[in-house]
Amino acid sequence: MTDKIHPRHIGFDIDGVVADTAGAFIRLARDKYGLGDIKPSEITAFQVEDCLNIDNTKVEQIFAHLLTNPIEHGLEPMPNAITVLNELATTAPLTFITARPQKSPIEKWLTTHLSPAAASTMRLVAMGEHDGKGEHIRMMGLQYFIDDRAETCIRLAEEGLSPYVFNQPWNRGRHLLPAVDDWLAIRELCAMAA
């Protein structure tokens, strides 16, 4: 029996963990660019252009929409993410660390979805790059981190932190670290307030 993680010691990546970024990408590709029927299981690389036969410019445009205006472009939370985050927030403030370069659009998105109490105490770091998350994780006083990018998690483990990979088609078979399938598994990992 392992000890549960206290919510004050765990942080979260946003895209591919809290937000169903792949789902929104697929919808935007279909509805705005006429790229019909991409299946989530086909996104087998973190860099989408490496695994799908889509023009690089279109990929960049779609991601730009999701970065600058996630609400209008239909970015939705992952199943059960908001319920579990709101529960965790009753024990400790939530911490999000994202590689996104712009803080304010995703802050608005989080505030729209989270309970007012959870949103008012949350901490959000928008780093603007994929590397160097470990430093921010430590500065925020965290030990555990959930991320969908295998390379990020491998690096965090090397730095003495305790990452969990959020299972997605693009990280399968790319690491040997502990992993979670969904937010109910994250709830199981954490010690909740009674």
16 binds Mg ion (CB under 5 A): yes
Instruction: Provide, rounded to whole angstroms, the least separation between the CB of residue 150 and Mg ion.
Output: 11
The separation between CA 54 and the C-alpha centre of its own chain, rounded to angstroms, equals: 23
Mark the segment that binds Mg ion (CB under 5 A) among 16-24, 28-36, 49-57, 61-69: 16-24
Is 20 a binding residue for Mg ion by CB under 5 A? The answer is no
Q: Choose, by CB under 5 A, the member of 114, 126, 148, 183 that binds Mg ion.
A: 148
Residue 44 near residue 170 (C-beta atoms within 8 A): yes
- Phi first, then psi, for residue 88 (nearest 5°) are -60, -35
Q: Which residues lie closer than 8 Å to 133 by C-beta, 6 or more apart?
A: 97, 99, 127, 145, 147, 152, 155, 156
E strand or H helix at 175: none
| Alpha-carbon distances of 37 from 25, 43, 53, 56, 178, rounded to whole Å | 11, 12, 12, 18, 31
Q: How far is the CB of 126 from Mg ion (least distance, A)?
A: 13
> Among 69-77, 87-95, 126-134, 144-152, which window interacts with Mg ion (CB under 5 A)?
144-152
**CB of 34: closest distance to Mg ion in angstroms?**
26
Query: Do the Cβ atoms of 16 and 63 come closer than 8 Å?
Result: no
Return the residue of 5, 13, 126, 183 that touches Mg ion, per CB under 5 A.
13
Query: SS3 for 65?
Result: helix
Residue nearest Mg ion (C-beta atom): 16
Q: Which stretch binds Mg ion (CB under 5 A): 9-17, 25-33, 52-60, 169-177?
A: 9-17
Please give the DSSP secondary-structure letter assigned to residue 190. B
The span of 4-12, 89-97, 141-149, 174-182 binding Mg ion (CB under 5 A) equals 141-149
105 binds Mg ion (CB under 5 A): no
- Find the binding residues for Mg ion in span 165-184 (CB under 5 A): none
Which residues here bind Mg ion, judged by CB under 5 A? 13, 15-16, 148
